[in-house]
Structure 1
């Protein structure tokens, strides 16, 4: 089963300064942090803030190409968590047929924002993301999860990239 999520915000991990995209369940309290690269976080931040650039960036180009091929992005799904790596699928529709494309979650999320399409996370991914293989990391991870779940709008603004 897939759970619809929204991008709740972008922030910087206070422990290692890595960018994090925060996804939040539309109908519940589930929160999924996904650590992403700096360039991908910037692409997401630009679209969240509706900033314009003088020339199309990579995700703008991708959207333009999809539209130019008479296709549309229907949804993106964070579909798998394997070896501590998230995987995503972009669902496209072209001429009445569905096509799926493998993608990094950061790219899928940046494209979803530009295409104004829903974002989903597979329920198994949410379950797996809450379990850490190394018990020594459990406390740190659980503390981070509680901290992320407790963030309000002011906090997200304070840690904004």
Structure 2
């Protein structure tokens, strides 16, 4: 069975369900997306790994895994989302050390957080996309700029969207101070929102 490579389309969080996040993966050579519900910590970890301007003062668990692996010369070759049972995705990390390959079972959210840090490709199988993938029209595709999930997503995903924050009354200098404070306090969700506002004004 052939692999289909996926890329991270975006992450959004729920206004109605505390701690519920949607990680949306998209096939690289097609129009299907794969939405996966993940926890708050994993969503934060993935977002930070994708963000170049925010660096936590202390390493997160997945950063520690990267440092540990580098220290002992372990590389992550790829992540494979290989099974879907009752709405739960099962994944594997394909690791290599000194020419020896090992496959490790892992939660999908952890696997993707690690894959981002290693620049490792993410794959799934055709039958999983057939079962859980969602076709999108090009004009309705989700983008990080509009911060909305497509209308074609199932009901539980339609409710998941970015919360709006009003920073219009705050000066650029104050925004930078708030950004530094948010990172220092490890409030990366707020830091990402402030960074977005700063980028809009640049």
Instruction: Kindly indicate whether residue 39 of structure 2 is the aligned counterpart of residue 37 of structure 1.
Output: yes
Q: 5+ residue gaps in structure 2?
A: 149-160, 164-188, 190-202
CA distance in structure 2 between the aligned counterparts of 1:27 and 1:72, rounded to whole angstroms: 26
1:106 aligned to 81, 106, 109, which one?
A: 109
Moved more, 80-89 or 15-24: 15-24
Which residue is 2:10 aligned to?
A: 9
TM-score normalised over the length of structure 1: 0.81
Which residue is 1:76 aligned to?
A: 79
CA positional deviation for 1:14 = 5.5
Q: Of the two, which has the highest radius of gyration?
A: 2
- Secondary structure in 2 matching 1:64: helix
CA positional deviation for 1:63 = 1.1
Which residue is 1:155 aligned to?
A: 146
Cα 1:153–1:54 shift into 2, 3 Å: closer
Which residue is 1:65 aligned to?
A: 68
The count of residues paired between Structure 1 and Structure 2 equals 147
CA distance in structure 1 between the aligned counterparts of 2:144 and 2:56, rounded to whole angstroms: 26
The superposition leaves residues 20-69 of structure 1 with CA deviations (integer Å, 9 ceiling, x where unpaired) of 11101111111000000011101011111132111211001111111222
TM-score normalised over the length of structure 2: 0.66
Which residue is 2:25 aligned to?
A: 23
What is the RMSD of the two structures over their aligned residues, measured on CA atoms?
A: 2.3
CA distance in structure 1 between the aligned counterparts of 2:3 and 2:60, rounded to whole angstroms: 30
